[in-house]
């Protein structure tokens, strides 16, 4: 008989929490008992899992009795407070916030890239930032073959990166503008509808945002190479779901465009869409609710030797959050490392 697990989803009422539930169901994860947790505000709401209703309970310090796997997507402060409590109670925490990502004692894990990191966990595993996940999935096979010296990346991140409230604000602004009505800006820093905003997260003293610096630090940690240079710019765009990235790679060893294509074609979790003459390139509207990272527009940089340009697209709620967390849980089950 297949062993099943007591799984808790913390932040179950949010966009990523709901996506986690859907992903657990779609991938037939061996959930034997399910506990849905959220703030007092969401307690009492009902969600459906495998055709059965589940009531969301208020998250407290006593919520994790018997829980074996806890998927967290409730923000950094909640994770900092409750992840250690869950781990002490015997659960393995897979945390989607930024709270633990750069903690030296916590693995930062993308199963297609550094699955061996799961073996070192001490009760908490960090899920990387959405834009980092899709980038490293695409870049890992290239780094292994030719070593990446420098990455220049511009992200085009959808409203869903700011959660359900971010998507709702984009929808409300769009309707208001088309009907010549006033609107408020609460979630995004400026009007997002019909606009691009080069401001995600908070600005730091170095002029970059914390969202941009995640790409720097997380990429190095996941790839296991602190010498990789990363120059990031993060932009919020009026797309409801799906992040895109323009990536420029400076390689230590030369690779032809065809060699890069072959590496990506064989890479786990990557789908190559690279036939520009037939409009073959990935766009976010064509990638919703998909598990893969899509790569296209592969071309040599005409100004530098050993430099390649890529275009990378993925569903940020799926692979960029919920799917990666569930894949980590699957890895733990497969390796019997709970």
Q: Just list the catalytic residues.
A: 130, 243
Please give the torsion angle defined by the CA atoms of residues 138, 285, 243 and 326, in that order, rounded to the nearest 10 degrees: -70
**Integer Cα distance of 184 and 194 in angstroms:** 15
| Nearest CA-CA partner of 222 in 145, 144, 315 | 144
Contacts of 169 (CB under 8 A, 6+ apart): 159, 162, 185, 186, 187, 188, 192
Inter-residue contact 201 to 209 (CB < 8 Å): yes
Contacts of 152 (CB under 8 A, 6+ apart): 231, 247, 248
Inter-residue contact 119 to 96 (CB < 8 Å): no
Contacts of 66 (CB under 8 A, 6+ apart): 6, 33, 90
């Amino acid at each position: 008989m297949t062993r099943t697990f007591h799984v808790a989803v913390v932040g179950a009422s949010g966009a990523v929490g709901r996506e986690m539930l859907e992903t657990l169901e779609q991938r037939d994860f061996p959930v034997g008992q399910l506990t849905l947790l959220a703030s007092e505000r969401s307690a009492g709401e009902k969600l459906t899992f495998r055709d059965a209703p589940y009531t969301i309970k208020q998250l407290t310090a006593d919520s994790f009795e018997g829980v074996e796997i806890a998927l967290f997507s409730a923000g950094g402060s909640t994770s900092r407070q409750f992840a250690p409590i869950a781990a002490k109670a015997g659960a393995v925490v897979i945390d989607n916030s930024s709270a633990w990502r750069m903690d030296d004692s916590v693995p930062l894990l993308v199963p297609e890239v550094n699955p061996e990191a799961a073996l070192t966990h001490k009760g908490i595993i960090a899920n990387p930032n959405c834009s980092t996940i899709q980038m490293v999935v695409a870049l890992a096979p290239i780094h292994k073959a030719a070593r990446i010296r420098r990455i220049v990346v511009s992200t085009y991140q959808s409203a869903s990166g700011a959660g359900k409230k971010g998507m709702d604000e984009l929808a409300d602004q769009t309707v208001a503008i088309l009907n010549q009505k006033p609107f408020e800006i609460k979630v995004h820093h400026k009007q997002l509808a019909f606009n691009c905003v080069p401001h995600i997260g908070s600005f730091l003293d170095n002029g970059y945002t914390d969202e941009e610096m995640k790409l720097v630090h997380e990429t190095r940690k996941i790839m296991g190479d602190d010498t990789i240079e990363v120059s990031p710019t993060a932009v919020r765009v009026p797309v409801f779901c799906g992040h895109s990235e323009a990536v420029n790679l400076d390689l230590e060893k030369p690779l032809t465009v065809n060699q890069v294509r072959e590496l990506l074609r064989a890479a786990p979790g990557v789908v190559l869409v690279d036939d520009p003459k037939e409009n073959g390139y990935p766009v976010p509207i064509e990638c919703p609710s998909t598990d893969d990272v899509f790569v296209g527009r592969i071309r040599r940089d005409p100004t530098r030797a050993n430099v390649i340009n890529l275009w990378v697209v993925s569903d940020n709620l799926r692979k960029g959050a919920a799917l990666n967390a569930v894949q980590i849980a699957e890895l733990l089950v497969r390796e019997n490392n709970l």
